[in-house]
Structure 1
Amino acid sequence: MALWRIRATVDDRPGYLSVLTASLALKSVNILAVQVHTTEAGAVDDFLVDAPDALTEADLLGAVARGRGRDAFVARAEAEGLADQPTRALALAGRLVHDPDALGEALVALLDAAEVRWRPDPLPGRPGYDDSRMMLADPAGGSYEVLRSRPSFTPAEYARAQALVEVAGTMVRRHQEQTALLLPDGAELTLRTATGDDLDGVRGLHERASAASLHSRYLGGGAPSDARLRRLLEPAGGRTLLAVDGDGTVVAMANLLAEGDLGEIAVLVEDRWQRRGLGTALARRLLAWAGKGRFAALVAHTGADNVAMLRTLRRVGEGPAERDGAMVSVTLPVPGRESIGDSAPVAS
């Protein structure tokens, strides 16, 4: 038996796919996988089949024609084709998360392209495709031209390629968001947006933090579970920043959690890095990022005895503070938005 790839167009009408598959079955062709691409010309059926060794390309083309298929394409396939297209696309997306520069190679693998050409110039027009050529914008700058003589590109393939481009673009933007931070004492750290891959590093930060630091960050609660840490790393509608030293160790974490048009911020700094301006730098960056979005103000809840955090909030911005027993809530107006409440000094 031999693996073949067969693609053919049939009328998008009830029963036509079954006519084609029945014609293949008469040749003892076993269909291992099938995808249907909807196009203006009809339904494009893409098969991966196992056929008897004696069958030739001409035999398979004849079976397709007898099954009312047209514009047929038949070619030998490799064992890698046994992976269905959704699984294949997800695997390639996972690769781009770790290596967004591999977008060109991922497009070749996704589309079985003959060639992918990269150009430094942006697209002269909008992204799009025709039968043998697909044009895509490179999120890092420039453009990709994807070439394949046969079979013709379909809308579904173009949509998958665009999805991979968006994944790569997201990762490129995250990498670009990395900035170097030089602290007043001369120490240098890297600030960047957190991802789900940072769970181990953030867990280590919590394990090294003192009980007092954890108490201040979580208002009396202990270190959070892994499930909660995952939610903090990639908060819906918010953002988490990490400070990383030269060895790749996470030494601080700042969270902005969305609550409607308000955002709640909190900071955890490893003990040996405290009182060095790191918490202030992280909070200022979260406030600046909030100004680009829909947030009207940021709120920070801290203990009334947490002098270091209250001092940090005073440095970041002037806003009203409300005390409720042992807890103080400080509201920081977002730059460019109307202030909320009357300005009042932050208690210390």
Structure 2
Amino acid sequence: MLWRVRTTLPDRPGALAVLALNCGEAGVNILGLQIFPGIEAVTDELVLRTPEDWGVAEIAQLIELSGGLSVVSAPCTEAALTDQPTRYVQAARSILAQPASFPEIVAMLFDAEADPAPGSDGPEQDVMDMTVGDVQVQVRRTAPFTATEHARGSAMADLVSDVLERGRDQVMTPTLGRRVGGGSTPEYSVEGDHVSAMIDGTAVGLAVVRPAQGDDPDVRPVTLRVDPAWQRRGIGTRLLTDAARLAHTMGATEIVLTTRADNQAVLPMVLAAGLRGRIRMAADVLTVRVPVRELKPLPR
């Protein structure tokens, strides 16, 4: 069975040799090794092939016997053996080709995990923040992010910001209110808890501010949908902006949108809206949180 394991070893000669010796004696094969240097300690990521009946406890015992601390392990596939520089080059190429895919790509690149269920006793997760324009992108996982990974994530975010800035007219959502297909100009109306986008009397988009859930009455979930035939025309951006203002009118301080991790419309939409959003990636779920307390209220 294959495992991806992270541990911190003391930065002294022979530390890896002790680990390799103990692995060999236990019948564990080290198939991959990535080293993240530190000042007093070194973080090592290993791909191990263990006996089939081994689990997290056996791996932790072996690593700790070898002097390792902060052991985090999880099952993996042979994809974990991909050359790391190659992974980053491929990720950069994908981002250059489609900057809007940045949240999804970095989530896979840094092995983002699902958020623990509220109230669960799961291990605390570490967070990496990356900034694209005014939008903060977060990925989370149990294994702490190293200084090297923070630097790589920041460089990736800078790459996206540069690409978006250079090709803003092509990449970003069109100007709000511009004429779209057929020479029509969308009309937006507010009724109760929702904002509608209408073209020639037909609804092509809808944003609904939902009742607060959980223990925080100041946070309102928002659902937003644009007819596929009318996407990438600025409608979603306008609906997001109006929904945020409407939520403020209704007493909220923050709105939350949840969608698939591969939804590439989200990053350009939030950037084009000029909102200081926070995009959180967790496994296959993308969550957008936007503070609304400083927005101008939207009359109803």
What is the TM-score with the length of structure 1 in the denominator?
0.44
Tell me which residue corresponds to 1:142.
Answer: 135
Where relative contact order (Cα < 8 A, 6+ residues apart) is larger, the structure is 2
Task: Give the C-alpha shift of residue 24 in structure 1.
Answer: 1.3
Correspondence list, 1:47-86, <5 A: 47-86=46-85
Contact 2:132 2:158 in 1 (8 A): no
Contact 2:34 2:44 in 1 (8 A): yes
Contact 1:108 1:115 in 2 (8 A): no
1:64-93 deviation digits (Å, cap 9, x = unpaired): 111111111111112221212211111111
Letter in 1 for 2:72: F
Letter in 1 for 2:11: D
Question: 1:147 & 1:53 partners in 2: Cα distance?
Answer: 28
Letter in 2 for 1:30: N
Tell me which residue corresponds to 2:100.
Answer: 101
Correspondence list, 1:143-182, <5 A: 143-148=136-141, 150-176=142-168
Letter in 2 for 1:84: D
Task: Give the C-alpha shift of residue 56 in structure 1.
Answer: 2.3
Whether 1:24 and 2:23 are equivalent positions in the alignment is yes
SS of aligned partner of 1:170: helix
Task: Give the C-alpha shift of residue 55 in structure 1.
Answer: 2.2
Which structure: larger Rg?
1
Indicate the percent of aligned positions where both proteins have the same amino acid: 28
1:180-235 deviation digits (Å, cap 9, x = unpaired): xxxxxxxxxxxxxxxxxxxxxxxxxxxxxxxxxxxxxxxxxxxxxxxxxxxxxxxx
Contact 2:8 2:44 in 1 (8 A): yes
Aligned length, in residue pairs: 163
Contact 2:60 2:71 in 1 (8 A): yes
Correspondence list, 1:297-308, <5 A: none
Tell me which residue corresponds to 1:328.
Answer: none
1:127-146 deviation digits (Å, cap 9, x = unpaired): xxx9711222113x321122
Contact 1:110 1:161 in 2 (8 A): no
- Which structure 1 residue ranges, 5 or more long, are not aligned? 117-129, 180-348
Q: 1:132 aligns with which of 126, 132, 136?
A: 126
1:110-150 deviation digits (Å, cap 9, x = unpaired): 1111269xxxxxxxxxxxxx9711222113x32112222x1
Letter in 2 for 1:89: Y
Question: 1:63 & 1:114 partners in 2: Cα distance?
Answer: 24
Tell me which residue corresponds to 1:44.
Answer: 43
Question: 2:41 & 2:128 partners in 1: Cα distance?
Answer: 20
Question: 2:59 & 2:144 partners in 1: Cα distance?
Answer: 19
Question: 2:130 & 2:114 partners in 1: Cα distance?
Answer: 14
SS of aligned partner of 2:37: strand
Question: 2:89 & 2:149 partners in 1: Cα distance?
Answer: 14
Question: 1:104 & 1:115 partners in 2: Cα distance?
Answer: 14
Correspondence list, 1:1-348, <5 A: 2-114=1-113, 132-139=126-133, 141-148=134-141, 150-176=142-168
Q: Call closer, same or farther: CA 1:145–1:56 in 2, change over 3 Å.
A: closer
Task: Give the C-alpha shift of residue 168 in structure 1.
Answer: 1.4
Question: 1:60 & 1:178 partners in 2: Cα distance?
Answer: 50
Question: 1:105 & 1:178 partners in 2: Cα distance?
Answer: 21
SS of aligned partner of 1:39: coil
Contact 2:95 2:160 in 1 (8 A): yes
Task: Give the C-alpha shift of residue 157 in structure 1.
Answer: 0.9
Task: Give the C-alpha shift of residue 158 in structure 1.
Answer: 0.7
Contact 2:2 2:50 in 1 (8 A): yes
Contact 1:10 1:43 in 2 (8 A): yes
What is the TM-score with the length of structure 2 in the denominator?
0.51
Contact 2:8 2:71 in 1 (8 A): yes
